[in-house]
Amino acid sequence: MAIEYFNLLSEEEGWIDLSVDQDLPSYLWNEGGLLADAPIDMEQTFKGNMWVSNKVDRSFNLNGLRCAPNFSVPRHHHNLDELIIVFEGEFHVAWGQDGEEGSQTIGPGEFWISEAGTPYIMTAGPEGVTYIETWPEPMEKLETYWHDAGWVHR
């Protein structure tokens, strides 16, 4: 693969709607079972609210992501630690079982580390947010456990 330069903050190039596949075996419902069997609608929740960069090479365990203004990524946790680095805009992150253990606003040039097993909800600021997320293991080992907060329900 050739090395390619691109601007992660570009509005024009490299962004596609986040593909949502509620049937992924790595998407689990926190109350048990697969997300596919949960009473939520992943497509309606994310549609028009989140985009992924098609320029960031996922083989490096990276995702380039962008969220619409004030969009909340539903409460979830992972089986692996996660590092989120904000490039533009801001995220307000609330973590813990009910978001009561802590919260922090993460702005450009700042990062946040989510420890494996810690549930959190992230809400983009009024101008949206552009960020990178990464994990210490290949993404094939990543599991996401979704909680019942922040969803469009079926």
Q: How many domains does the structure of the chain reveal?
A: 1
Residue 71 placed within a domain: yes
| Pair 151, 74: CB distance under 8 Å | yes
| Pair 25, 144: CB distance under 8 Å | no
Residue 16 clears pLDDT 90, i.e. is over it: no
Q: Render pLDDT for 84-104 as a digit per residue (tens, 0 to 9).
A: 999 999 999 999 876 568 999
Domain CATH for 39: 2.60.120.10
Print the domain residue range for 51. Answer: 22-146
Model confidence band, residue 19 (pLDDT cutoffs 50, 70, 90): confident
CA distance 147 to 121: 9
How many other β-carbons are positioned within 10 Å of the β-carbon of residue 83?
Answer: 15
Q: Render pLDDT for 30-50 as a digit per residue (tens, 0 to 9).
A: 888 999 999 999 989 999 999
pTM, 2 dp: 0.88
